[in-house]
Structures are given as structure tokens and as C-alpha cells.
């Protein structure tokens, strides 16, 4: 005999219960790769600050297969995180024109992909010219 | 004579006066492609087992009473058609993340308390006499919050949210969306009062934007979007209080 309410047991592996939860966890995990790459980037800037020889030595160290794979993984994680981030932008920052809400696909371009591609193009122009 | 088609419903059963643990009980129900899961449960209660306990009212997706887990998904059972599951069995459970009172009925008290916490009503410094006319609002001002006012309190979003199940202090999707609905109302001046509650530790910040609350919402309220907007509003309020501590509470709301 119980006589009271039934409380379901705590679910430790809740993230395995629905595909959407797994997608959420993948999105969150990509942050670690982005953070790791930022550390590499900061070290690179520090080496450049030290001098040309230190920078060249650091870049040489980064040219190993292991580092190349790490960079490829970080790039894939960053691209995926960016896509999921831009997908969330219209929900978090809806734009209204009068009483009409800007459709999500347009909002993603206006606030996400547009500025991203523009910034990328400017940086590429600065680097390659 | 053609054999009558049937479908199996596996119902979660728990009677607190006799059961220490829940169990599942199978029922064969006549299959009608126009029937929804709620029709099947009602048929079981009317013709097979009157002790089956469930909550329902309107049968048309308006009252929000008949939310249950259908094959592990939070659904309004009045909108879950048998034909979408036939010929496979359908497992029906009470909404997860809530204590179970009896069979398919959950305890809503905690949810109701959270709704009250966000002060879901218009707060004004001045209360004008009706002879002075209504508080007018343009269609553009209405559009800012209308989507968030469509909630029917069905609690599906609470069952879809993993944070609700792990963080007691989290106010949850429906309550936060409702709070945001009033914060965005141009007639309201109670934003500071509401944010006082929403800014508490995990009340709002517990949301990690899983987004499933929005996916399961039968009324397209988008609680996940409302919470992210409320977070931005809360962050602004936090920094205002940090920079101008004496001016705390100065933010009145969308209409001030």
C-alpha cells in the first residue's frame, strides 16, 4: 500500500530519451571544441607578439597531422554550432515591421548569415589583397 | 462478416490506495480512423473498466486538460489520432515531470504555483476609472505579445523540458512565456516586479534552450523563444540595477 503520489525515478540518461535531446547535447558539446580552438588562437597571437621566430616555430608545430585533424574537427564543430545558433536567432530576437513579424528564413539572413558572410568577405579581402 | 479491427492501448495504472508501484494494463479497443486516443480511453472507461482515471473536457484542443504521454511524446490526446499509430499498440502514460495522483492524472499544484509567481496579469501604477476610457493598444503593440497569450496551460511543454525534471526552482516554459507575455504588453507597468521573480537563480536562467517546449506546443506559443527574449530583458534589467542601484525598479514595462 502506498497511499500517496507516485514520483517517477530521476532520469540520469535523459539526453538519450529523444533525438532532439541528442541534437541538443551535440550542439552543447561543439562549444568545447570552439573554446579549445580559441585557446589555440590566443596562443598563436601571443607567439606572433613574441616575434617572427616564435610564430614560425609555433606554426611549424601546428603543421603535424594531429593538429590538422584537430583543426578540421574544430572547424566542423564551429560550422555546426554556427548553423544551430543562427537557427535560434529569429526566436530569440524577432523583428517586427509594424504588426508583421519578419519571416524566420529572412531573419536568419538579415541577422545571421548576411553579417557572417559580409565579415568573412571583408577579412578575406584584407588578408588576400 | 468482416472482422472488427481493434487496436491495443497500454494504459499506465496507479491507484495510490492499493499500488506501491505503477503498472501497465492492456485493453483492446475498436479501431475507428476518426477516433483519437482520448476517444479510446473514454471507450475503455465507459465499457470495460470504469476505474480508469483521466482528465479531459472539451475534446477540441482548447481546454488543455487531456495532455498525456502517447508513446513517449507529450500530446493532447484529443488531437492524437489512432490512425497515426495503427496497427501498433499505443502506450499512454501521465505527463512526465509531474507527480502522479492516479492513473493518467498528474498533480498540477506546483505548475499553478509557478504560474502565479510570474504575476500573470496587467500591473499598473495608476488604475483609471472606466469612465476615462480603455487603455488603447495598436495592432503592432498587440503583435508583440499575442503569440505568447495563446497558451492553454496543457503542460506538454513541462513534460518535454529536461530542465523541469531536474531543477525544481526553474519556473518552466509556460510560466515564463506568460510572464514575458505581460512584460511585452504595452499596457503593463509591472516588468520590474516580474523580473524580480524571473531573475532569481535558476528561475529563468535554468533554461538551456533545448527547444522541445516549442516543438510540442499545440498552440504554437514558442515558449523557448519567449524565454530567450526574457533573458535578454532580464540581462538589461540586471545591468541597469548594477550601474544605477538607486534607480532599481525604474523599468516599468513595455508601456511605460
**What is the full per-residue pLDDT of chain B (256 aa) written as tens digits?**
567 899 999 999 999 999 999 999 999 999 999 999 999 999 999 999 999 999 999 999 999 999 999 999 999 999 999 999 999 999 999 999 999 999 999 999 999 999 999 999 999 988 777 788 888 999 999 999 999 999 999 999 999 999 999 999 999 999 999 999 999 999 999 998 999 899 888 899 999 999 999 999 999 999 999 999 999 999 988 888 888 876 554 455 554 4
Backbone angles phi, psi at B39, to 5 degrees: -60, -45
Q: Please choose, from the candidates A9, A76, A7, the residue with its C-alpha nearest in 3D space to the C-alpha of residue A37.
A: A76
In a domain, A1, yes or no: no
**For strand B6-13 and strand B90-93, is the pairing parallel, antiparallel, or unpaired?**
parallel
Q: Please choose, from the candidates B63, B73, B3, the residue with its C-alpha nearest in 3D space to the C-alpha of residue B31.
A: B3
In a domain, A104, yes or no: yes
Which domain, by its residues, includes B68?
A: 6-106
Is the same domain home to A111 and A52?
no
| Total domains, chain A | 2
Is the same domain home to B100 and B115?
no
Is the same domain home to A113 and A126?
yes
Spell out the alpha helix ranges (H) of A93-113: 104-108
Kindly state whether A15 is in contact with chain B, defined as any CB-CB distance less than 8 angstroms. Answer: yes
pLDDT, position B66: 98
Is the same domain home to A30 and A47?
yes
Is B165 close to A18, i.e. CB distance below 8 A?
A: no
| Total domains, chain B | 2
Is the same domain home to A40 and A56?
yes
pLDDT, position B243: 87
Is the same domain home to A78 and A129?
no
Please check the confidence at residue A100 and state whether its pLDDT lies above 60: yes
Q: Which chain A residues contact residue B225 at CB under 8 A?
A: 90-92, 94
**What distance in Å separates residue B65's CA from the closest CA in chain A?**
19
Kindly state whether A14 is in contact with chain B, defined as any CB-CB distance less than 8 angstroms. Answer: yes
Is the same domain home to A36 and A59?
yes
d(CA B87, CA B89): 7
Q: Cell for A42?
A: 590566443
pLDDT, position B201: 84
Contact B54, B141 (CB under 8 A): no
pLDDT, position B31: 96
In a domain, B222, yes or no: yes
Is the same domain home to B99 and B153?
no
Is the same domain home to B20 and B143?
no
What is the ipTM metric for this complex? 0.84
Average pLDDT for chain A: 93
Is the same domain home to A75 and A119?
no
Is A100 close to B142, i.e. CB distance below 8 A?
A: no
Which domain, by its residues, includes A47?
A: 9-92
Q: Please choose, from the candidates B120, B64, B69, B224, the residue with its C-alpha nearest in 3D space to the C-alpha of residue A88.
A: B224
- Summarize pLDDT for A19-68 with one digit per residue, the tens: 999 999 999 999 999 999 999 999 999 999 999 999 999 999 999 999 99
Is the same domain home to A63 and A126?
no
d(CA B174, CA B3): 45
Is the same domain home to B197 and B139?
yes
Is the same domain home to A24 and A79?
yes
Find the CB nearest A14 among B16, B99, B165: B165
pLDDT, position B240: 85
Chain A CA closest to residue B100: A6
Find the CB nearest B16 among A2, A8, A94: A2
Choose from B12, B16, B208, B215 for mutation: most chain A CBs within 10 A: B16
Choose from B211, B216, B217 for mutation: most chain A CBs within 10 A: B211
pLDDT, position B135: 86
Amino acid at each position: 500500500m502506498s497511499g500517496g503520489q507516485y514520483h517517477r525515478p530521476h532520469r540520469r540518461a535523459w539526453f538519450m530519451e529523444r533525438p532532439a535531446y541528442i541534437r541538443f547535447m551535440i550542439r552543447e558539446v561543439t562549444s568545447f571544441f570552439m573554446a579549445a580552438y580559441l585557446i589555440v588562437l590566443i596562443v598563436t597571437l601571443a607567439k606572433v607578439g613574441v616575434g617572427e621566430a616564435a610564430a614560425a616555430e609555433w606554426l611549424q608545430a601546428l603543421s603535424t597531422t594531429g593538429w590538422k585533424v584537430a583543426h578540421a574537427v574544430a572547424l566542423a564543430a564551429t560550422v555546426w554550432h554556427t548553423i544551430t545558433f543562427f537557427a535560434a536567432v529569429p526566436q530569440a530576437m524577432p523583428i517586427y515591421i509594424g504588426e508583421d513579424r519578419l519571416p524566420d528564413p529572412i531573419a536568419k539572413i538579415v541577422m545571421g548569415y548576411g553579417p557572417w558572410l559580409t565579415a568573412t568577405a571583408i577579412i578575406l579581402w584584407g588578408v588576400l589583397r | 462478416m468482416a472482422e472488427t479491427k481493434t487496436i491495443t492501448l497500454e494504459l499506465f495504472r496507479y491507484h495510490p490506495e492499493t499500488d506501491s508501484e505503477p503498472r501497465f494494463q492492456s485493453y483492446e479497443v475498436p479501431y475507428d480512423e476518426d477516433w483519437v486516443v482520448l476517444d479510446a480511453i473514454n471507450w475503455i472507461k465507459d465499457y470495460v473498466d470504469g476505474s480508469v482515471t483521466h482528465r479531459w473536457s472539451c475534446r477540441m484542443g482548447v481546454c488543455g486538460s487531456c495532455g498525456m504521454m502517447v508513446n513517449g511524446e507529450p500530446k493532447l490526446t484529443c488531437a492524437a489520432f489512432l490512425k497515426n499509430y495503427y496497427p501498433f499498440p499505443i502506450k499512454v502514460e501521465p505527463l512526465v515531470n509531474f507527480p502522479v495522483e492516479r492513473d493518467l492524472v498528474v498533480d498540477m499544484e506546483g505548475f499553478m504555483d509557478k504560474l502565479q509567481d510570474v504575476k500573470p496579469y496587467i500591473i499598473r501604477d495608476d488604475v483609471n476609472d472606466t469612465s476615462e476610457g480603455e487603455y488603447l493598444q495598436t495592432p503592432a503593440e498587440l503583435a508583440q505579445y499575442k503569440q505568447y497569450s495563446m497558451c492553454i496551460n496543457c503542460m506538454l511543454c513541462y513534460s518535454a523540458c529536461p530542465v523541469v525534471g531536474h531543477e525544481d526552482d526553474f519556473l518552466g516554459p509556460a510560466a515564463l512565456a506568460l510572464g514575458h507575455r505581460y512584460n511585452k504588453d504595452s499596457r503593463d507597468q509591472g516588468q520590474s516586479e516580474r523580473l524580480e521573480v524571473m531573475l532569481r537563480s535558476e528561475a529563468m536562467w535554468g533554461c538551456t534552450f533545448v527547444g522541445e517546449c516549442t516543438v510540442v506546443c499545440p498552440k504554437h506559443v514558442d515558449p523557448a523563444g519567449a524565454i530567450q527574449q526574457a533573458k535578454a530583458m532580464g540581462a538589461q534589467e540586471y545591468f541597469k540595477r548594477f550601474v544605477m542601484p538607486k534607480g532599481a525598479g525604474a523599468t516599468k514595462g513595455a508601456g511605460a
